[in-house]
A and B are shown apart, each in its own frame.
Chain A
Amino acid sequence: MSTAMPETIPYDEALNLFEPVFGLEVHVEMGTNSKMFCPCPTAFGGEPNTQVCPVCLGLPGSMPVVNRTAVESTIRIGLALNCTIAEWCRFARKNYFYPDMPKDYQISQYDEPLCSNGYLDVTVATAEGPKVVRVEIERVHMEEDTGKLTHTGGATGRIHGADYSLVDYNRAGIPLIEIVTKPVAGAGHLVADVAKAYVAELRDLMRALEVSDVRMEEGSLRCDVNLSLNKPGSPMGTRSETKNVNSLRSVERAVRSEVERQSALLTAGGRVVQETRHFHEDIGRSTSGRSKEQAEDYRYFPEPDLVPIAPSPAWIDELRATLPELPSAKRSRLEAKWGITPFELATVVNAGALDLVEETIAAGVESAAARKWWTGELLRTANDQGIELADLPVTPAQIARVEALVADGSLNDKLARQVFEGIIAGEGDVDEVIASRGLAVVSDDTSLLAAIDEALLAQPDVADKIRSGKVQAAGAIVGAVMKSTRGQADAAKVRALLLDRLGVTEA
């Protein structure tokens, strides 16, 4: 092979040459209070090895007992993903040795998943407008998480080369849902967008179902991205599996970088090796892990310590009745109701503000104002503080109160922002902040005129310009007045008074 061979081919160029096929395996930690097979708590962040018992430590003689809530959550996810729910299914043991696995086998499901054959429609933006792509679901099943290894020493942070490793079994046995797609072909240049949109849609679905809070930064949603390329008209190519893809942005980047890498290999006459690759968040690329040419033999067999799960039709109906309005339906409804475009709604969704905006509108605020507050000023504050929007101490009712005060002229936009600043700083409710900070629009003409005269005196050249008909220069005086009134004036009113004072009319 030529040494000049490029390591990558740019994404769009690559997709002019090849057709991509991708598949995603998504693991989501369920938000149950207790673990999959024992009563230990699942709370994140506990001292290492404090949320453990003989069962999740796999001590000799211990036995698993299935968490009913986890089964219910899985069935609800299956129903929301339009899956068939198995009439009868079993857990299976996946056998392999690794120090983060207390039993050296993982209780999972193998050839009898609880849910199978569903789909999820996702919307991606294209130059021609929004496009709906159907992602078919192969299966949804339950399994237990492993413990968490921390490798100390060595350059890579991986087990090889480490001086020693620490294991925290708090995570061992936390219920996981695994959602596996069928191979998705035909996405072409949209492949990275479709993959990302699918994971985002899945995340919203989990949140709507309240089966997981999907905090990606805590690793509660993890993706494996399978991808292959083939020449148009040729059979599917050899796939790679990229692990450790743990954010929406990473899903997109993992797909892009793999398209770019595989296309370069194939174009140079090389071949794609079937392997596991590890995605590195910091550099946005993956590196080769272990080769899967010799597939690991997990020696699956039905878990003999558990009895089969046979959900009755009545139970399934009961769970179906608990399904909330699903995110896609909710979006269509809100677009129509609020009279906004899918793009505008996407801004709200991406800010995590859907419910907040909806509640704010319900509290009597105009759609545009409600969206402006939550996706603007408040989102910035939340991001600055590194918290979720919903965790800000601002309520839809408070926004309604502020908006009412703006409408009657008691507050202006700048003062309104100071009100929220005060609320977030814990200074009390809307009216308390206004009172304690002395926030009120100065609407008394006499004091405003005094301030205008003062500003005109300070900037006689500007005053002359305005008098000579250069109305656009009025901004400097209005600004000075706003400053001297500490923002507590209505800028439009100041401007009107100023022009009137100078006997100038708007052009």
Chain B
Amino acid sequence: MAVMGADLTRQTAVVLAEAIRTGEATAVGVTQAHLDRIDSVDERVHAFLHVDTEAALDAARNVDAKRSAGEALGPLAGVPLALKDILTMRGVPTTCGSRMLENWRPPYDSSVVERLRAADIVILGKTNMDEFAMGSSTEHSAYGPTRNPWDLERIPGGSGGGSAAALAAFEAPLAIGTDTGGSIRQPAAVTGTVGVKPTYGGVPRYGLVALASSLDQAGPCARTVMDTALLHSVIAGYDPRDSTSINAPVPDVVAAAGKADVRGMRIGIVTELNGEGYQAGVAQRFRESLAILEHLGAEIVEVGCPSFEYALGAYYLILPSEASSNLARFDGMRYGLRVGDDGTHSVEQVMSLTREAGFGAEVKRRIMLGTYALSSGYYDAYYGSAQKVRTLIMRDFASAFESVDVLVSPTAPTTAFKIGEKVDDPLAMYLNDIATIPVNLAGNAAMSLPVGLAPEDGLPVGFQIMAPPMADDRLYLVGAALESALHDKWGHLLIEEVPAL
């Protein structure tokens, strides 16, 4: 493949890694091209909170040195990556989009970062996000919103809007996101990129700053299904430091992405995620995708998941409950922001002043909701009931997967909305995640991939594929087949249509 003279930032990770392996490009050259791109566009996109220029170039030089020394390079060696600012990286700011952690530099690497380093992936820097991953638009970042490269007046989704925007703006070919209720998939949908939430426990959470421990999952993001699969295989797998990580072989997602075959598969449309409430263009591209999959040899059936109706309600009890506890440690005592330590305030007052100043409105809203839901006398009615709903949703999935191989739905009800449009309407914001939340509650795997632009606004539409736990490979079988058929139809990837910045 010839990248000589081509714009290195427009290439897939597969192409870049191959070019570096063959010597057609250097890792330093590839990294520098992306750093330059960040320099020229990120002022407008604001995907990054921190660009780690020197460390990135050092890592790239190390890859080039390995190649010169004749050492074998991994499948993504030298390829740049954008890391969501919620994963710890030794010595590098990790803010979670919050004032609370503005100057915090963790003394340790997260499990994901360790694996990225071991794979010789070049980490360019940390990407913007809704504060502590609470939001669907990145507007709740304490450091200002990220903008959608398709239309800078629009949101890039959230909470992982920075990672998705970095991909769509060609600032990085790979990114890491985290998905608690859709924070990988919804940003992927509204930016025309690919994102996967692996099976819960598939990617270790050690070093992922917890929002809701029982829902959080880090996952791969890229512009193609194969790039996503390669990144998935780098970060997935058991880590004894995360007791909830699964000690079993990782499904062969790369082979599945290579196979890209849906012949004989049964694909289920979820009745409850296919009715009213979807933007016309979103519904249209969804139906067209189903027709393509049918044409490719899959059988499309409809499956009912009646408990999904209660998913949003259950989610907004479980998430705030766990978050209220997980975020308690931000009290100004040991690290991060400290307010009021002037000799006139008690410890209790300093804690209170710090939390008042350090957390944004959405974080406070959820801490209060969660504190209330866990309170004595309310626990059974709220947290207890929500856990029962969760069990029902798992049963719905289990029974659906008895008759189908994967389930599908639109990823988000609408295309990217305008910045400021929903920021004062939490309920409208929460509804963005209606189709993505059930997967987090049940712990299974899901992917969003781009399936076209909505005719009415010319913005990307995402298609969600859901697989049973530890059957992540099925996402890639279906996703790669659909991507390939759409590529044939359009003659290019959808992302090629993103306007120049």
Which residues in A have some Cβ–Cβ distance to B below 8 Å? 54, 57-66, 93, 95, 97, 99, 102-105, 159-160, 165, 167, 295, 297, 299-301, 304-307
**Are B375 and A61 closer than 8 Å at their CB atoms?**
no
Residue B348 is within 8 A (CB to CB) of chain A in the complex = yes
Which residues in B have some Cβ–Cβ distance to A below 8 Å? 87-88, 94, 96, 101, 104, 106-108, 110, 205-210, 212-214, 240-244, 321-322, 324-325, 328-331, 333-335, 346-348, 351, 371, 374-376, 379, 383
Nearest chain-A residue to B240 (Cβ)? A65
5 sample A-B contacts, Cβ–Cβ < 8 Å, listed by A number: A58-B334, A60-B96, A61-B210, A305-B244, A306-B243
- Besides A64-B243, A300-B374, A306-B244, 11 other A-B contacts (C-beta < 8 A): A60-B104, A65-B240, A65-B241, A99-B331, A102-B334, A104-B329, A105-B325, A299-B379, A304-B213, A305-B210, A307-B243
**Complex interface: chain A residues within 8 A of B376 (CB):** 295, 297, 299
The CA of A60 and the CA of B322, in the complex, are separated in Å by 14
Nearest chain-B residue to A65 (Cβ)? B243
- The one of B87, B206, B214, B348 in contact with A63, judged by C-beta atoms closer than 8 angstroms, is B206
**A-B contact number at CB 8 A:** 100
Q: How far is the CB of A101 from chain B (nearest CB, A)?
A: 9
Q: How far is the CB of A120 from chain B (nearest CB, A)?
A: 31
**Complex interface: chain B residues within 8 A of A60 (CB):** 88, 94, 96, 101, 104, 106, 209-210, 329-330
**Are A301 and B243 closer than 8 Å at their CB atoms?**
no
- Of A104, A167, A306, most B-chain CB atoms within 10 Å: A104
**Are B107 and A59 closer than 8 Å at their CB atoms?**
yes
**Complex interface: chain A residues within 8 A of B333 (CB):** 99, 167
**Interface SS of chain A: helix, strand, loop or mixed?**
loop
Q: How far is the CB of A296 from chain B (nearest CB, A)?
A: 10
- The one of B94, B206, B334, B379 in contact with A301, judged by C-beta atoms closer than 8 angstroms, is B379
- The one of B243, B334, B351 in contact with A305, judged by C-beta atoms closer than 8 angstroms, is B243
- With A105-B325, A297-B375 as contacts: A61 and B207 at CB distance below 8 Å: yes
Nearest chain-A residue to B86 (Cβ)? A61
**Are A97 and B205 closer than 8 Å at their CB atoms?**
no
Nearest chain-A residue to B376 (Cβ)? A297
**Are B210 and A104 closer than 8 Å at their CB atoms?**
no
**Are A301 and B325 closer than 8 Å at their CB atoms?**
yes
Nearest chain-A residue to B335 (Cβ)? A59
The CA of A301 and the CA of B348, in the complex, are separated in Å by 24
**Are B383 and A301 closer than 8 Å at their CB atoms?**
yes
**Are A305 and B213 closer than 8 Å at their CB atoms?**
yes
**Are A63 and B325 closer than 8 Å at their CB atoms?**
no
**Are A102 and B329 closer than 8 Å at their CB atoms?**
yes
Interface pairs A-B: 4 shortest CB-CB: A104-B328, A304-B213, A299-B374, A304-B214
- With A93-B325, A301-B325 as contacts: A66 and B206 at CB distance below 8 Å: no
**Are B209 and A61 closer than 8 Å at their CB atoms?**
yes
The CA of A104 and the CA of B104, in the complex, are separated in Å by 18
- The one of B87, B243, B325, B371 in contact with A61, judged by C-beta atoms closer than 8 angstroms, is B87
**Are B243 and A66 closer than 8 Å at their CB atoms?**
yes
The CA of A363 and the CA of B375, in the complex, are separated in Å by 63
- Of B101, B104, B207, most A-chain CB atoms within 10 Å: B207
- With A99-B347, A304-B214 as contacts: A63 and B328 at CB distance below 8 Å: no
**Complex interface: chain B residues within 8 A of A305 (CB):** 210, 213, 243-244
- The one of A58, A64, A167 in contact with B329, judged by C-beta atoms closer than 8 angstroms, is A58
